[in-house]
Structure 1
Amino acid sequence: MLEKMQEQIKKGVTMFALHELDDTKQKRCWFVEKAEELPSFLQSEHIKELFHEKKSAYWKDGDTSYMLECVLPKTPLYIMGGGTIALFLAQMAQMCDFEVHVFDDRKEFADSHRFPWAEEVLCMPFDELFSCYHFQKDAYFVLVTRGHLNDEKCLKEVLQLSYSYVGMIGSKRKNNIIREHLLMQGYEKEKLDEVHAPIGIDIQSDTPAEIAVSIVAELIQKRAQLRPQSTTESVWKKVEKDCILATILYHHGSTPREMGSKMLIFKDGHIEGSVGGGSLEYAVQKQAELLFQSLDTSQVMYFSLSNEDAAKEGMVCGGDACVLLEKADILW
């Protein structure tokens, strides 16, 4: 089951993991693409709505609990222009789980060695790019080409695509000029109002690195608004048979990570991902070590951090978290 899911998320398909649990362990788990693939007794309107909205959720039904994980592919980010800002932007965006693609019409700038963090680097005139390249739906576009003429060309084409975000570099004056050009050419005011221009959150940025920080911050903000309570695929791709998956089912109070946050604990001791660091993460790792030695295949653990303990951890107040531990080898 899990192997099929990994194959699908590598193809960019949104997948779902539905966990059925009691108070101590996981009873069953399904990996599916559509709600219709679940057993009929689980095809409620509530679950179908969660699938439609691509949301994760935790709920109880009598003595049984359920946790639905929406596993989304990485957010595709298309950077038009391979200049200095793009260098910092590509690196930061890749660290923040964006799938980075860089385009420039100059060979020396569209160089994969220059952008080792990018999934793809392509050299092509912008006039030709949009007529022959297949962009993913609901993608994010950042226009940071070497001049306003190319920015305007790219913006015209992007506005005709299915996108979730488009931002354009430049001063207010430059962006207003481009906006007026497009209005006179018949582009809808509502569409132009969606363009983030000037791009980035206003943090009084000055240097290329600071500008990239402001852009990535805006990208993260937009993604959080559009993708509430979802799990990215980066950790799922790294699951192997000799590891234990730790997943936050729910939490209350001041806990560092949200529902669905995931960590892999391997037999050799190394980890991937995070469920929050500090005392919680240490407790999860120790419990995983015991589960490796046990005949049990899963365990639900409860973690409580008092206000006093939280203060020792440097947190304002305490909180509770419920974490599912499951051996990966039974999921294949």
Structure 2
Amino acid sequence: MNIYQKLLDELNAGAKAVMVTELEKVPAEYSGNNQGYCKKEYFTEDCLQQSGLYPSMQQSLLNGELQIIESPEGKIAIIEPFFPQPCLYVFGGGHIAKPLTEMAAKLGFSVTVVDDRLSFANKERFPDAARVICESFDRCFELLSFNAYTYVVIVTRGHRHDAQCLKAVAQRKWAYAGMIGSRRRVKSLKEQLLSEGCPREVLEKVNAPIGLEIGAITPQEIALSILAQVVSYRRLENPGMGRESAKISWTEFDRDVLEEISRGKNERRAIVTVISAKGSVPRKAGAKMLVWPDGKILGSIGGGCSEGAVIQTAIDIALNGGYKIQNIDLTGTIAEDEGMVCGGKMQVLIESLS
């Protein structure tokens, strides 16, 4: 089992972790390939104190930002935080659940759909879902795990099922919970659950009626309004405050790339990681791309001619080993020449995986 598989196992178990990449002294201005060692270690949140980089690692997990630390001797340590993939539980497999699941999967959520009807709870109906569970709404919670990266959408077909789901959800940990329904229906349901002992402070956190108010009518529009609200809870410190809310600066997480690396195939490849991003750049720190010697790629650091230059370097490193830190300038006329609306500077680490 390679280090990336171990990292993914920790993330899948709901743990936060940091990957530390230590590089030997690099040439001036990070130019040219370095054939020295490139050592990697990962630490879960509970094990950070085992490293001399503990304060920096702890800070990365707090603010979600990748850090680059250079010693007086010129050695470099790259501290990269990783967080579990957000999980979206959709209770109810009706007409809203279909576009909701499709959109959520494209946004990087691992989606689980639950319904008690086999005709609605099947993989053919929800090909983009990671899991589809056909089980009653009062028993399905035995099959689900909740943590700080769990997002819940309740869109069942009836008041009784909504009550079953919301009562069970109220007893668990989650980042977001929302339930469809009119204000009158939602008020009645919350009063019912309060009388049954559900904590008022928990019920007040439930977004009901669900979604942002965009005048949605069709199932696709309603799904969009729901996911817009879900994303705001994932990306903003104070959802609902609009532009006044500070953004949560999580690093990018390319799960497809990590899963491919974790398989440990015995073949030459290079991995490209954005380690620094300033200005309006297409991808943020943490974004990854895998490059094979024949030019095949998985993932992206933003496209354009700048990515093409990085791919050429990555092909060379995939064939010959070593690593390089490469600068990408997307400011001014450079971005215009590439037809890109963004402008800024990126720094990428390109390293051999062979």
TM bin, normalised by shorter chain, reads 0.7 to 0.9
Q: State the match for 2:251 in structure 1.
A: 230
Separation (CA, whole Å) in 2 of partners of 1:136 and 1:192: 17
Question: Of residues 292, 297, 300 in structure 2, which corresponds to 1:271?
Answer: 297
> Partner of 1:162: helix, strand, or coil?
coil
Q: State the match for 2:203 in structure 1.
A: 192
Query: What does the per-residue CA deviation read over 1:132-182, in whole Å, with 9 as the maximum and x for residues that have no partner?
Result: 324232311110101122112100100101111111112222222222222
1:299 Cα deviation (Å)? 0.7
Query: What does the per-residue CA deviation read over 1:33-62, in whole Å, with 9 as the maximum and x for residues that have no partner?
Result: 3378679663432323434x3834223334
Q: In 1, are the aligned partners of 2:146 and 2:172 still within 8 Å (CA)?
A: no
Structure holding more strand per residue: 1
Q: State the match for 1:207 in structure 2.
A: 218
Q: State the match for 2:285 in structure 1.
A: 259
Aligned residues: 325
Computed over aligned residues only, the root mean square deviation of the Cα atoms, in angstroms, reads 2.5
Q: Which moved more, 1:60-69 or 1:87-96?
A: 60-69
Separation (CA, whole Å) in 2 of partners of 1:145 and 1:39: 45
For 1:34, the aligned partner's letter is: T
Q: In 1, are the aligned partners of 2:212 and 2:225 still within 8 Å (CA)?
A: yes
Q: In 1, are the aligned partners of 2:18 and 2:57 still within 8 Å (CA)?
A: no
Question: Of residues 72, 76, 80 in structure 2, which corresponds to 1:65?
Answer: 76
Aligned pairs (5 A) from 1:1-332: 3-10=2-9, 12-13=12-13, 14=15, 15-21=17-23, 22=26, 23-24=30-31, 25=34, 27-34=37-44, 42-51=52-61, 53=62, 55-61=64-70, 62=72, 63-130=74-141, 132-138=142-148, 139-225=150-236, 228-232=249-253, 233-239=255-261, 240=265, 241-293=267-319, 295-316=320-341, 318-329=343-354
Runs of at least 5 residues in structure 2 that lack an aligned partner in the other structure: 238-247
1:83 Cα deviation (Å)? 0.5
Q: In 2, are the aligned partners of 1:172 and 1:197 still within 8 Å (CA)?
A: yes
Separation (CA, whole Å) in 2 of partners of 1:217 and 1:271: 30
Q: Percent identity?
A: 33
1:247 Cα deviation (Å)? 0.6
Pair 1:37–1:151, CA change in 2 (3 A):
closer
For 1:228, the aligned partner's letter is: S
Separation (CA, whole Å) in 2 of partners of 1:41 and 1:80: 42
Query: What does the per-residue CA deviation read over 1:241-298, in whole Å, with 9 as the maximum and x for residues that have no partner?
Result: 43211111102122111111111112232211111122332221122223334x3411
Separation (CA, whole Å) in 2 of partners of 1:194 and 1:3: 41
